[in-house]
Amino acid sequence: MNGAQSLLETFVNAGVEVCFTNPGTSEMHFVAALDTQARMRAVLGLFEGVVTGAADGYARMAGKPACTLLHLGPGLANGLANLHNARRARSPVINVVGEHATYHRHLDAPLTSDIEGFAGPVSAWIRVSESADAVAADAAEAVRAAMTPPGQIATLILPADTAWNDASASAPALAPPALKAPAGDAVEAAVRALVSGEPCTFLLNGLGVSEAGLRLVSRIAGKTGARIMGDTFISRIPRGAGRVNIGRLPYFAEQAEEALAGTRHLIVVDTKAPVSFFAYPGRASELTPRDASIHQLSTPGSDALAALEAVVDAVGASDVPADVATLDRPEPPSGKLAPETIAQALGALLPEQAIVVNEAATSGFGIPAFTSGSAPHDWLDLTGGAIGMGLPAAVGAAVACPERRVVALQADGSAMYTVQALWTMARESLDVTVILFANRKYAILQVEFMRVGAHNPGPKAMSMLDLSNPDLAFVDLARGMGVPAVQATDAASFHEALARSFATPGPFLIEAVI
Ligand SMILES: Cc1ncc(C[n+]2csc(CCOP(=O)(O)OP(=O)(O)O)c2C)c(N)n1
């Protein structure tokens, strides 16, 4: 076997079975090795942001990493924004980045670059394989690094000759470290706050918003009266009938401050005390009320469920039932097409075990309220604020869960960053329904323009926040990449198109003109 074959065999030994690729010349031996490894699925993305975003979506749903295959520094750099989002999602991802052959690197050929420099800010682990025989052990370590709780990005840089030279063997899988045990004093401090009679609020992410975590927190809340809130943006959260549905910390800082007002104890699980997304002139950046204490019950990478179980026992909530939602779907909508009527149709029709990928931006604010009583589903947010994650993450989620319908709630401006993901959906026959919110503007930036105090909008400034002239033709864009598509302009036709898509295998795009 050669180094590339030892790499792939090591990956599949460790349960890494999907590779999202966009290769170049330096990765050709990796590409060739794909045909020798039946257990590795290879999925082509036509831009590296699609590749890395797909790896993020896959990891969120599979709970294990896919690998990416990226072409030297520039290929990695093209994929960085979605690796940033993946890092914020705590998604396990393994990047395999091709590099010039070891003896070619010093020649400074045109594609030579500082790959480690590009990889550094998003990677918890970086390794350059220096020989074909080192590749297998490096690959096993890469998987372990990615699977280190709560989930990390590992980047393995593979000089071309380490892929094509002979290698002796693949490597066995390495067990990742376990979750850290909860800190006893953190549990005691949270319990003291919860039984103090003073207003407490849980702020949750990570394992705190797993199905088990939410049930534990709900029982504690039922016993103590504590409020429950999720972070504004969450990697993955179960929602709908049978689940504990929670509110989120609002995006806008003043609304977040209002939501937390009166809290005396903020109990933080797998996240940190809240800060506003941006600074605004004259406004606070830290959102915890001044007179509140912050209790860090669990940090990412530690066993939040054990910590919450200890709290359940200590406050005497063992017999308290979790407050779960009952099935209560909205009526089908009629009338005008708007984010609310779209949400109504979605809430009515959402299939059992659907995966909702939310990059709907301003159009998505109202959707959770219409889907909390829908069939049980999982919900994935844009975690790092770098737009262009939605369509790629939908690809990855669909690859991870072929038996489930993926619904991509997609704002038009954000869609255009990685719109090539539609082609991968068609090529892989993925069951993805894209609801494309065509408001033909960067609506959030029009709001932010005023909020940051940049008043007196002039025509040049406003045209930077507007997507018309010409209008993007999403039905044509989708069809041009092999995805069937229709345009909807009223609620009834949208509802009908959505029902049709849910009943038909394969991808479908509905351009919702709002
Ligand atoms: C990678 C990246 N580039 C630019 C931005 C700045 N940005 C934030 S929101 C936004 C536009 C969003 O418009 P759209 O997706 O159409 O949603 P809408 O606000 O209209 O609901 C932009 C450009 C960003 N967040 N990330």
- For residue 446, the ligand 1 atom closest to its alpha carbon is 19
Q: Is 147 helix (H, G, I), strand (E, B) or coil?
A: coil
Mind listing the pLDDT tens digit of every residue in the chain (514 residues)?
A: 999 999 999 999 999 999 999 999 999 999 999 999 999 999 999 999 999 999 999 999 999 999 999 999 999 999 999 999 999 999 999 999 999 999 999 999 999 999 999 999 999 999 999 999 999 999 999 999 999 999 999 999 999 999 999 999 999 999 999 999 999 999 999 999 999 999 999 999 999 999 999 999 999 999 999 999 999 999 999 999 999 999 999 999 999 999 999 999 999 999 999 999 999 988 999 999 999 999 999 999 999 999 999 999 999 999 999 999 999 999 999 999 999 999 999 999 999 999 999 999 999 999 999 999 999 999 999 999 999 999 999 999 999 999 999 999 999 999 999 999 999 999 999 999 999 999 999 999 999 998 888 878 899 999 999 999 999 999 999 999 999 999 999 999 999 999 999 999 999 999 999 9
- For a substitution probing ligand 1, which of 442, 446, 465, 514 has the most ligand atoms within 8 Å of its CB? 442
- For a substitution probing ligand 1, which of 387, 447, 450, 471 has the most ligand atoms within 8 Å of its CB? 387
Separation of CA 412 and ligand 1 centre (Å): 9
Separation of CA 240 and ligand 1 centre (Å): 28
CB under 8 Å to 452, separation ≥6 — which residues?
278, 280, 281
* Whole-number Å distance between alpha carbons of 470 and 481: 20
Structure tokens at 247: 């509110």
Separation of CA 417 and ligand 1 centre (Å): 10
CB under 8 Å to 288, separation ≥6 — which residues?
260, 263, 266, 273, 274, 294
Q: Which residue type occupies 353? A: Q
pLDDT digit string, tens, across residues 162-213: 999 999 999 999 999 999 999 999 999 999 999 999 999 999 999 999 999 9
* Whole-number Å distance between alpha carbons of 123 and 327: 41
Separation of CA 486 and ligand 1 centre (Å): 24
Strand 237-239 relative to strand 377-381, pairing: antiparallel
pLDDT digit string, tens, across residues 94-132: 999 999 999 999 999 999 999 999 999 999 999 999 999
Separation of CA 262 and ligand 1 centre (Å): 33
474 C-beta closer than 6 A to ligand 1: no
Separation of CA 124 and ligand 1 centre (Å): 27
